[in-house]
């Protein structure tokens, strides 16, 4: 089976993990801060908080921006459920903004119109979460401009996008957002096994993220309620969680980050081969804006809706492990019980009925990629 995504583990990665296993610290040691500093160096952000998953990072990001039960958060339907669940974890309401059918990212027109209606009804969002689907950046400058006009905060869900750029700035610089979230899941650009991070340029947000990451406990005398007279003294000053990343995971992630640029370049090389192969077909290719750099976590084609199911199943039958990203969040049973239904966000639903994620990972061999190309073309030409 040719998988749609796969981690690349080198001997250097293994050596770094072994070094931690032989050290005095397996968790809460010196490697997590090193990973956080490296993320700041790569992105140009001021602060980073490494956690055990991007889901945890999204949850903490909402809490750090004081999302509460009386609030509403908006994201897009064509994303993994974690982008929406994070608001529900805080007791808030969730709603969705449909996508632009050309970019497959949050539609600025739909967002603008929805904000105007929400302002009249007094139901503006507390936070908007644009998702850089497949690694292709959203129009963050336009979303930021709308945040000034309508008073919402921004969390960039960049789970697909580390190593990409929006204009001349790296994704994660937080130039147009309050917090950016990365994922280090094994099929992502770089991996720590499981893991994620929340980046920000605001010291107060960073302090909150780090506090909530570890049970709401602090040893920082500056924020304690009582004076500490002993080195063992600590205080729980908030209700936090055990969302810490271990040094074992951080060692793998830190080693992988040294190859980030190499990985993104290889992904572009593979994507360019797909682009050329499918150029004169009826297959709709993914957009890559010239002024941005996609991290290319995924290469998603769109095929004739009438052939979609047959093409997908036939590719799987031919040992090509294609996938679909994603089933629109609002169509899942849990969200339908919240009042959402098919037909609410037609562009996202149309995308779902046509989208197929093809194999794309650094060690994908040209021989295997040609098998994918030939099989896709033969199925779509029928």
Give kind and range of the element (H or E) at residue 85. helix 82-89
Residue with tokens 């499918």: 278
Q: How confident is the model at residue 230 (pLDDT cuts 50, 70, 90)?
A: confident
Asked if residues 92 and 62 have their Cβ atoms less than 8 Å apart, the reply is: yes
Tell me the residue range of the domain where 66 lies. 2-257
Choosing from 197, 226, 257, the residue where a domain stops is 257
Give me the DSSP letters along 187-233: TSSS--SS-EEEEES-HHHHHHHHHHHBTTEE--TTT-SS---STT-
- Give me Rg for the CA atoms of the chain: 21
User: Residue 311 is encoded by which pair of tokens?
Assistant: 């093409």
Residues 123, 206 within the same domain = yes
Residues 224, 79 within the same domain = yes
3-state secondary structure of 264: helix
Residues 177, 270 within the same domain = no
**Mean pLDDT throughout 335-343?**
98
First to last CA, the chain: 23
Residues 179, 285 within the same domain = no
pLDDT at position 215 over 90: yes
If 0-12 CB within 10 Å is exposed, 13-18 middle and 19+ buried, where does residue 91 land?
exposed
Q: How confident is the model at residue 341 (pLDDT cuts 50, 70, 90)?
A: very high
Residues 241, 274 within the same domain = no
- Structure confidence at residue 136 (pLDDT): 98
Q: What is the CATH number of the domain that holds 309?
A: 3.90.1150.10
In the β-sheet with 72-75, what is the strand arrangement from edge to edge? 47-51, 196-200, 179-183, 153-157, 127-129, 72-75, 93-96
Residues 34, 152 within the same domain = yes
Choosing from 205, 239, 257, the residue where a domain stops is 257
The predicted-structure confidence for 190-203, as pLDDT tens digits, reads as follows 999 999 999 999 99
The predicted-structure confidence for 117-148, as pLDDT tens digits, reads as follows 999 999 999 999 999 999 999 999 999 999 99
- Structure confidence at residue 62 (pLDDT): 98
- Structure confidence at residue 217 (pLDDT): 96
Separation CA 192–CA 246 (nearest Å): 10
Q: How many domains does the chain have?
A: 2
Residues 192, 316 within the same domain = no
Separation CA 99–CA 350 (nearest Å): 10
Average pLDDT over the chain reads 97
Closest C-alpha among 358, 342, 344 to residue 303: 358
Residues 234, 269 within the same domain = no
Asked if residues 357 and 323 have their Cβ atoms less than 8 Å apart, the reply is: yes
Residues 282, 253 within the same domain = no
Give φ, ψ of 60 to 5 degrees.
Answer: -65, -35
Residues 45, 194 within the same domain = yes
pLDDT at position 381 over 90: no
Choosing from 257, 287, 303, the residue where a domain stops is 257
**Mean pLDDT throughout 149-168?**
98
Q: Which residue has the higher pLDDT, 240 or 228?
A: 240
Q: How confident is the model at residue 335 (pLDDT cuts 50, 70, 90)?
A: very high
Residues 270, 251 within the same domain = no
Q: What is the CATH number of the domain that holds 109?
A: 3.40.640.10
Give kind and range of the element (H or E) at residue 269. helix 260-277
**Mean pLDDT throughout 104-110?**
98
Residues 247, 268 within the same domain = no
Residues 6+ apart with CB under 8 A from 6: 186, 187, 361, 363
């Amino acid at each position: 089976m040719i998988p749609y995504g796969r981690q690349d583990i080198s001997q250097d990665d293994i050596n770094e993990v072994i070094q931690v296993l032989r050290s005095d610290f397996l968790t809460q040691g010196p490697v997590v801060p090193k990973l956080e500093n490296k993320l700041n160096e790569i992105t140009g952000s001021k602060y980073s908080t490494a956690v055990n998953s991007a889901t945890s990072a999204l949850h903490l990001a909402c809490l750090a921006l004081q999302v509460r039960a009386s609030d509403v958060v908006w994201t897009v339907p064509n994303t993994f459920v974690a982008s929406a669940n994070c608001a529900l974890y805080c007791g808030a309401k969730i709603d969705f903004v449909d996508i632009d059918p050309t970019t497959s990212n949050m539609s600025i027109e739909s967002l603008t119109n929805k904000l105007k209606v929400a302002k009249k009804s007094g139901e503006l969002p507390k936070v908007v979460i644009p998702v850089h689907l497949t690694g292709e950046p959203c129009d963050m400058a336009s979303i930021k401009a709308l945040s000034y006009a309508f008073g919402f905060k921004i969390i960039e869900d960049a789970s697909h996008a580390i190593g990409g750029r929006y204009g001349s700035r790296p994704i994660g610089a937080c130039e147009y957002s309050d917090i950016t979230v990365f994922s280090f899941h094994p099929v992502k650009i770089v991996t720590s096994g499981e893991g994620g991070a929340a980046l920000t340029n605001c010291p107060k947000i960073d302090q909150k993220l780090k506090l909530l990451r570890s049970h709401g406990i602090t040893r920082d005398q500056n924020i304690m309620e009582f004076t500490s007279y002993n080195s063992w003294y600590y205080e729980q000053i908030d209700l936090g969680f055990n969302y810490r990343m271990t040094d074992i995971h951080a060692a793998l992630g830190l080693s992988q980050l040294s190859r980030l640029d190499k990985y993104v370049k290889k992904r572009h090389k593979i994507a360019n081969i797909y682009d050329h192969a499918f150029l004169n077909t009826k297959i709709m290719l993914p957009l890559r804006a010239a002024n941005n750099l996609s991290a290319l976590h995924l290469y998603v084609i769109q095929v004739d809706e009438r052939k979609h199911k047959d093409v997908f199943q036939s590719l799987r039958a031919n040992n090509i492990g294609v996938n679909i990203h994603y089933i629109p969040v609002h169509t899942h049973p849990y969200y339908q019980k919240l009042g959402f239904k098919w037909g609410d966000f037609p562009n996202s639903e149309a995308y779902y009925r046509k989208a197929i994620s093809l194999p794309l990972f650094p060690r994908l061999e040209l021989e295997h990629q040609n098998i994918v190309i030939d099989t896709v073309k033969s199925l779509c030409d029928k």
